[in-house]
């Protein structure tokens, strides 16, 4: 397919993914907040809580039923399509960006994993992740929230570790996020919506609705709520090579998980009237700690401190980078300079020196998938030239 068409397809699907994702997470946040904020005093028979709110210049009054109303209203609003479309558009993006160019995005050129195997592993992780999580929910573990969280966390870390060893670091990160996102969407599709359908069905037949169904849906939706912040983080981390480009990227991910889930927990407790304020400074300390451990060690003298001429560095950049980063790229996949970053002239190279250092010397995430086969020595030479002041004369 024409690379320009792929680019527009990518943009359009990404846009859809964003919009549906915002709608989904927004409603997830809203309903969790609603649940926690319900007034539980002085209620009518059969009511679990009520709430007044003002928004957009209007007053709203809501009631939550303990199980179900006697008569199911004709118009009942369901919240499911935002979840389905977020997953579908997300999976489409995986295909368009990652699987379509698996040789560049899924693996590094020096990896022993075949790109096709990498795609299978990626898709497999989504299925296996759901299978493990769903099985865990069906064991007595589900009644022990602390243990459940701990076991779940360790499994995610183990899978992250495995994926970072098999796939390119970016693909590994993204697939951990996609795996959790798949659990969330499958929770909606396979558990929450079917449970709710059963509730509606029994209410319609005048039977006592099974409270177990309601409880089941409630727990899955609570899990989804906790997964939101880590998943969102992983999705944006793809633009920050100091996370996935780190040597211990799986451990960085684990740390970010703890922070993300912790902050979510703070808000959930706050909603219930408990102010576990310590979580916020702890999260700040956690983020600062992560920023510190991901900081590259003070660069030793690269290339053995040898004085590097600009012509030498420029020749390497031309050979290893300009096939993509140019006004006229020769790469088959990237027909427009990625992110507008070009290294055609000395000035452009000097202007981007800090980014070149991060991308090609410390985190080594560039060249993408190392499709241009840069060597360690060459990275050091480019790095040394920047260290020595990036002088072009
Ligand atoms: C196969 C194509 C390809 C090659 C070769 C390549 N890059 Fe990139 N580069 C990309 C893509 C794609 C992006 C955009 C990544 C993204 O979406 O975050 C990018 C982004 C960048 C950025 C911008 C990062 C940012 O977040 O602003 C820099 C800087 C960069 N590359 C440097 C280099 C250097 C230095 C080399 C050579 C050592 C190189 N690239 C080789 C494809 C390539």
The Å distance, Cα 157 to ligand 1 centre, comes to 28
Q: Are 63 and 46 in contact (CB under 8 A)?
A: no
The Å distance, Cα 309 to ligand 1 centre, comes to 23
The Å distance, Cα 337 to ligand 1 centre, comes to 9
The Å distance, Cα 158 to ligand 1 centre, comes to 29
Is residue 212 predicted with pLDDT exceeding 90?
A: no
Per-residue pLDDT tens for 18-42? 999 999 999 988 998 898 889 999 9
pLDDT at 294: 84
Mutation to probe ligand 1, out of 6, 322, 358, 359 (largest number of atoms < 8 A from CB): 359
Is residue 62 predicted with pLDDT exceeding 80?
A: yes
CA neighbours within 13 Å on the CB side: how many for 214?
Answer: 15
Which residue ranges have their beta carbon within 6 Å of ligand 1? 104, 239, 320-321, 323-325, 331, 334, 338-339, 341, 352, 355-356, 359-360, 366-368, 371-372, 374
Mutation to probe ligand 1, out of 330, 367, 373 (largest number of atoms < 8 A from CB): 367
Q: Are 167 and 118 in contact (CB under 8 A)?
A: yes
The Å distance, Cα 164 to ligand 1 centre, comes to 20
Is residue 4 predicted with pLDDT exceeding 90?
A: no
Label residue 344 exposed, middle or buried (CB < 10 Å: 0-12, 13-18, 19+): middle
Instruction: With CA atoms as reference, report the closest residue to 229 among 274, 172, 184, 191.
Output: 184
Q: Where is pLDDT greater, at 173 or 294?
A: 173
Cβ contacts of 30 within 8 Å, gap of 6 or more: none
- Tokens matching residue 194: 């079917």
Per-residue pLDDT tens for 93-104? 999 999 998 988
Per-residue pLDDT tens for 288-310? 999 888 887 666 778 888 899 99
Q: Are 59 and 52 in contact (CB under 8 A)?
A: yes
In the chain, the percentage of residues whose pLDDT exceeds 90 is: 68
Per-residue pLDDT tens for 244-258? 888 899 999 999 999
User: What's the mean pLDDT in 55-62?
Assistant: 96
- Summary mean pLDDT of the chain: 91
Label residue 110 exposed, middle or buried (CB < 10 Å: 0-12, 13-18, 19+): exposed
- Tokens matching residue 8: 């527009």
pLDDT at 164: 94
Cβ contacts of 89 within 8 Å, gap of 6 or more: 13, 14, 16, 17, 20
CA-nearest residue for atom 13, ligand 1, is 338
What do you get for the CA distance between the two ends of the chain, in Å? 43
pLDDT at 354: 92
The Å distance, Cα 319 to ligand 1 centre, comes to 14
Q: Are 345 and 326 in contact (CB under 8 A)?
A: no
User: What's the mean pLDDT in 39-68?
Assistant: 93
Per-residue pLDDT tens for 311-327? 999 999 999 999 999 99
Per-residue pLDDT tens for 174-210? 999 999 999 999 999 999 999 999 989 988 888 887 8
Q: Are 136 and 151 in contact (CB under 8 A)?
A: yes
Query: Other CB atoms closer than 10 Å to residue 277's CB: what's the count?
Result: 11
pLDDT at 299: 67
Q: Are 267 and 233 in contact (CB under 8 A)?
A: no
Q: Looking at the chain, how many residues does it have?
A: 393
Mutation to probe ligand 1, out of 7, 324, 343 (largest number of atoms < 8 A from CB): 324
pLDDT at 327: 95
The Å distance, Cα 20 to ligand 1 centre, comes to 29
The Å distance, Cα 338 to ligand 1 centre, comes to 6
User: What's the mean pLDDT in 371-387?
Assistant: 93
């Amino acid at each position: 397919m024409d690379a320009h068409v792929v680019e527009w397809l990518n943009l359009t699907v990404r846009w859809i993914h964003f919009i549906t994702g915002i709608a989904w997470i927004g409603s997830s946040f809203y309903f969790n907040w609603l649940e926690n904020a319900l007034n539980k005093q002085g209620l009518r028979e059969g009511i679990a809580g009520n709430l007044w709110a003002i928004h957009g210049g209007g007053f709203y009054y809501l009631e939550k039923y303990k199980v179900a109303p006697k008569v199911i209203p004709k118009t009942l609003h369901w919240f499911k399509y935002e979840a389905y479309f977020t997953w579908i558009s997300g999976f489409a993006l995986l295909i368009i960006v990652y699987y379509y160019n698996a040789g560049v995005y899924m693996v590094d050129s020096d990896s022993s994993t075949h790109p096709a195997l990498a795609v299978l592993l990626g898709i497999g992780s989504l299925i296996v992740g759901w299978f493990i999580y769903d099985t865990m929910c069906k064991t007595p573990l589900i009644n022990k929230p602390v243990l459940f969280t701990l076991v779940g966390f360790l499994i995610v870390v183990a899978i992250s570790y495995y994926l970072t060893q098999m796939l390119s670091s970016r693909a590994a990160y993204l697939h951990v996020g996609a795996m959790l996102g798949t659990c969330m969407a499958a929770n909606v599709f396979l558990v929450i919506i079917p449970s709710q359908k059963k509730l509606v069905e029994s209410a319609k037949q005048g039977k006592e609705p099974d409270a177990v169904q309601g409880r089941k849906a409630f727990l899955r939706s609570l899990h989804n709520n906790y997964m939101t912040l880590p998943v969102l983080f992983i999705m944006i981390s793809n633009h920050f090579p100091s996370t996935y480009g780190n040597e211990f990227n799986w451990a960085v991910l684990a740390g970010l998980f703890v922070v993300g889930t912790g902050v979510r927990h703070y808000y959930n407790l706050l909603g219930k009237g408990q102010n576990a304020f310590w979580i916020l400074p702890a999260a700040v300390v956690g983020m600062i700690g992560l920023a510190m451990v991901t900081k590259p060690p003070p660069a030793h003298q690269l290339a053995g401190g040898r004085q590097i001429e600009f012509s030498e560095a420029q020749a390497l950049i031309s050979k290893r980078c300009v096939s993509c980063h140019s006004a006229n790229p020769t790469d088959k996949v990237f027909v427009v300079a990625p992110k507008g970053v070009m290294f055609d002239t000395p000035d452009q190279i000097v202007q981007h020196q800090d980014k070149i250092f991060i991308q090609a010397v410390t985190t080594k995430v560039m060249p993408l998938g190392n499709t241009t086969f840069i060597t360690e020595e060459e990275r050091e030479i480019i790095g040394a030239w920047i260290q020595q002041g990036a002088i072009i004369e």
